[in-house]
């Protein structure tokens, strides 16, 4: 029985591979980084995500966004994330593991990674290899099954998988071998202008498949460029995943859903092992769930903030660091020097590179060197700025716009919150008060004796004494009272408590424990 079963399976492999779509569109080369050439759908279409840029293409971004200076930092420190550590298969990622601190500049040599014998690559960074088998199985078992005969979708099992980018002959089964995107990158942001996410955590940018030579494919399957990522994750019962993403996978303009759609559509659809044919009992969009789960899982194992802080590299408006210092700290944890992205000498991104033994869903992510030279940081004088800083970053020539100076409520701007005399957070799209996230853009339009407000969520009004912005809300007319937002003559708004962490405060006109006022910050 066994031999014929094996034969049957073996004969099916090429058939399955042949059935897979062969569409492989444009190959991109990293010149300007990832996101600079893409604008997002929705109401931010005119602005772009800042990204790694060696050519200054993204430099126009900052002029349209407020500097990261509009929040006080006093309570930010304890407002941290839901994160962070997960169990690694071997967790002794001691900084002393990496004896070869002096050869870190070899990471910029893209050719060397392909020369390496795969067994060496697997063994060297064992301290940070993440074993993932089982996580997908347990997660898919949460999916509701409509009848006893419906089996949960399961990624194909991958016995004797090969390490991506290390094959010497063509591999047929691309469900168990990532190709052509064989180098997987988990990329992170440190956003300070404006600040996003926890003050002491890097946020996720994406999970990207690179070819093994520094180029990459993008937007590989238009039919799977979904515009309902949140709904998909919810439909699979992934509320914990969504909660984590809400805090740790941030769009700098507050449009997280669009950002997730962009990352999945541009990069996720190019991962061969996430093809719809790579499952037993495939259920539509299972691979989308797997994409976000894997990115989050990798991110949880890459606490860049702590790695750097443990090496004495902490955010500062004044200190600078050398590139080697930063690289050595990260190399000690990851096994290889990741790609570092700077803009004007300010550290903004870390890209961790992996090869994968097997599929993205169930395989092993094996740290490796970057497959191309992509770092954009100077050798010395690298700045690692504080998130939600209050003052002007010292040494920068561009003075940040003063926050909430009582500018007239008109055009586009942020609604900065003030309580007990200081600026603490701002309003986000639904009209709730948030102290650790991205401010929502509001549009103020003259109306009668005052003005109306609108966010990406819809018109803003006082609904049952709660400041609410949503589709279908009847817009209220607000006024400017000595530079403060006022409703029915009063600039006093209230919440039950000053929000912290991922908590959002409902803002009411009815008196409650905390008095808060709002100033306009034009953008
Ligand atoms: C590795 O496998 C991929 C996918 O089959 C193939 O395109 C590539 O040419 C192979 N590499 C080598 C060196 O044979
Ligand atoms: C998400 O969108 C796709 C494509 O429009 C659709 O097939 C799918 O049913 C949607 N899923 C949910 C949970 O809304």
- 263 carries an active-site annotation: yes
Q: How many CB atoms lie within 10 A of CB 105?
A: 12
Q: What is the DSSP letter of 222?
A: G
The answer to whether the CB of 345 falls within 8 A of the CB of 378 is yes
Contact (Cβ atoms closer than 8 angstroms) between residue 184 and residue 177: no
Could you say which of 166, 261, 262, 263 is catalytic?
263
Where would I find the H helices in 95-208? 112-115, 118-123, 135-140
Integer Cα distance of 132 and 70 in angstroms: 40
Cβ 409 vs Cβ 523: under 8 Å:
no
Distance (Å, rounded) from C-alpha 342 to C-alpha 459? 37
Say what the pLDDT of residue 3 is. 43
Tell me 490's DSSP state.
B
Question: Rounded to an integer, what distance in angstroms lies between the CA atom of residue 342 and that of residue 335?
Answer: 21
Which comes out higher in pLDDT, residue 376 or 18? Answer: 376
CB of 169 shorter than 6 A to ligand 1: yes
pLDDT, tens digit (0-9, with 9 covering 90-100), for 303-350: 999 999 999 999 999 999 999 999 999 999 999 999 999 999 999 999
What residue ranges line ligand 2, CB within 6 angstroms?
Answer: 226, 228, 231-232, 235
Query: Considering every ligand atom, which ligand is closest to the CA of 164?
Result: 1
Q: What is the pLDDT of residue 293?
A: 98
Query: pLDDT class for 26, splitting at 50, 70, 90?
Result: low
Annotation says 261 is catalytic: no
The predicted-structure confidence for 200-221, as pLDDT tens digits, reads as follows 999 999 999 999 998 999 999 9
Which one, of 317, 387, 383, lies nearest residue 347 by Cα?
383
Candidate list 205, 262, 334, 353, residue with the active-site label: 205
Closest ligand to residue 230's CA: 2
Atom 3 in ligand 1: residue holding the nearest Cα: 170
pLDDT of residue 91: 28
pLDDT at 29: 64
The token pair that represents 323 in the structure block = 């590139």
d(CA 193, CA 520) in angstroms, rounded, equals: 17
Higher pLDDT, 397 or 246: 246
| Residue 316 DSSP code | -
Alpha-carbon span 523 to 507, nearest angstrom: 22
Closest residue CA from atom 14 of ligand 1: 169
What value does the mean pLDDT take over residues 273-293? 98
Q: Say yes or no: CB of residue 171 within 6 Å of ligand 1.
A: yes
The secondary structure of 34-75 as a DSSP string is: SSTT-B-SSTTTT-B-----SSSGGGGHHHHS--S-SS--TT
CB 417 within 8 A of CB 433: yes
Atom of ligand 2 nearest to the CA of 234: 13
Give tens-digit pLDDT for 37-80.
333 333 233 333 444 433 333 333 333 333 333 332 333 333 33
Q: Alpha helix (H) ranges present in 222-322?
A: 229-235, 239-248, 256-266, 286-300, 304-310
∠ Cα 506 74 321 (to 5°): 125
Active-site residue, from 44, 166, 267, 334? 267
The Å distance, Cα 224 to ligand 2 centre, comes to: 10
Per-residue model confidence (pLDDT) at position 374: 76
Cα–Cα distance for residue pair 139/289, rounded to 1 Å: 9
Give CA torsion, residues 284, 285, 287, 290, to 10 deg: -130
The string of pLDDT tens digits covering residues 127-163 is 333 333 333 333 333 444 444 567 899 999 998 899 9
Q: Are 507 and 516 in contact (CB under 8 A)?
A: yes
The mean pLDDT of 457-461, rounded to a whole number, is: 94
Report the C-alpha gap between 323 and 116 in whole angstroms. 25
- Nearest to residue 288, comparing CAs of 274, 304, 307, 270? 274
Q: Which residues contact 203 (CB under 8 A, 6 or more apart)?
A: 188, 189, 190, 191, 196, 197, 248, 249, 250
pLDDT, greater one: 224 or 11:
224
Check residue 372 and give its pLDDT: 81
User: In this predicted model, which residue has the larger pLDDT, 371 or 502?
Assistant: 371
Short-list 76, 69, 66, 70, CA closest to 498: 76
How much is the CA Rg of the chain, to the nearest whole Å? 24
Q: Does the pLDDT of residue 472 top 70, yes or no?
A: yes
In sequence order, what are the beta bridge partners of 188? 204, 350
The rounded Å distance from CA 181 to ligand 2 centre is: 26
What is the pLDDT averaged over residues 167-187? 97
Residue 461's φ and ψ, nearest 5 degrees, are -150, 170
Q: Is the CB of 167 under 6 A from ligand 1?
A: yes
DSSP 500: -
């Amino acid at each position: 029985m066994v031999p014929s079963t094996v034969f049957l399976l073996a004969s099916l492999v090429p058939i399955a591979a042949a059935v897979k779509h062969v569409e492989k569109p444009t190959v991109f080369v990293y010149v300007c980084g990832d996101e600079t050439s893409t604008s997002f759908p929705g109401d931010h279409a005119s602005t772009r995500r800042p990204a790694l840029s060696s050519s200054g293409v993204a430099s126009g971004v900052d002029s349209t966004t407020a500097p990261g200076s509009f929040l006080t930092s006093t309570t930010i420190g304890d407002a941290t994330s839901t994160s962070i550590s997960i169990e690694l298969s071997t967790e002794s990622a001691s900084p002393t593991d990496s004896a070869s601190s002096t050869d870190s500049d070899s990471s910029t040599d893209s050719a060397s990674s392909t020369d390496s014998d795969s067994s060496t690559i697997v063994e060297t960074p064992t301290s940070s290899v993440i074993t993932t088998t089982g996580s997908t199985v347990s997660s898919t078992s949460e999916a509701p099954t409509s009848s006893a005969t419906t089996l949960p979708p399961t990624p194909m099992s991958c016995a004797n998988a090969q390490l991506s980018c290390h094959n010497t002959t063509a591999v047929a089964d691309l469900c168990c071998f990532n190709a052509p995107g064989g180098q997987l990158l988990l990329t992170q942001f440190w956003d300070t202008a404006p600040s996003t996410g926890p003050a002491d955590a890097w946020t996720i940018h994406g999970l990207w498949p690179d070819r093994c030579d520094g180029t990459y494919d993008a937007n590989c399957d238009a039919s799977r460029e979904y515009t309902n990522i949140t709904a998909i994750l919810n439909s699979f019962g992934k509320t914990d995943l969504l909660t984590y993403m809400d805090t740790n996978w941030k769009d700098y303009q507050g449009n997280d859903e669009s950002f997730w759609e962009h990352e999945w559509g541009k990069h996720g659809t190019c991962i061969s092992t996430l093809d719809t044919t790579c499952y037993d009992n495939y259920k539509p969009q299972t691979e989308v769930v797997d994409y976000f789960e894997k990115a989050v899982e990798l991110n949880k194992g890459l606490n860049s903030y702590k790695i750097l802080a443990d090496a004495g590299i902490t955010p500062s408006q004044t200190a600078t660091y050398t590139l080697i210092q930063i690289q050595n700290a990260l190399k000690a944890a990851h096994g290889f020097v990741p790609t570092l992205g700077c803009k004007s000498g300010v550290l903004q991104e870390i890209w961790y590179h992996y090869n994968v033994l097997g599929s993205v869903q169930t395989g092993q992510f094996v740290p490796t060197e970057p497959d191309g030279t992509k770092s954009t940081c100077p050798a010395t004088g690298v700045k690692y700025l504080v998130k939600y800083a209050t003052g002007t970053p010292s040494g920068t020539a561009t003075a940040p716009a003063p926050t909430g100076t009582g500018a007239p409520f008109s055009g586009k701007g942020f609604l900065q919150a003030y309580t007990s005399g200081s600026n603490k957070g701002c309003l986000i799209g639904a009209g709730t008060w948030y102290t650790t996230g991205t401010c929502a853009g509001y549009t103020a339009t003259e109306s009668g004796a005052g003005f109306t407000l609108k966010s990406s969520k819809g018109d803003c009004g006082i609904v049952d004494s709660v400041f609410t912005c949503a589709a279908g809300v009847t817009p209220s007319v607000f006024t400017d009272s000595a530079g403060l937002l006022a409703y029915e003559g009063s600039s006093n708004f209230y919440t039950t408590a000053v929000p912290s962490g991922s908590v959002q405060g409902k803002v009411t006109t009815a008196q409650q424990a905390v008095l808060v006022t709002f100033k306009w910050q034009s953008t």
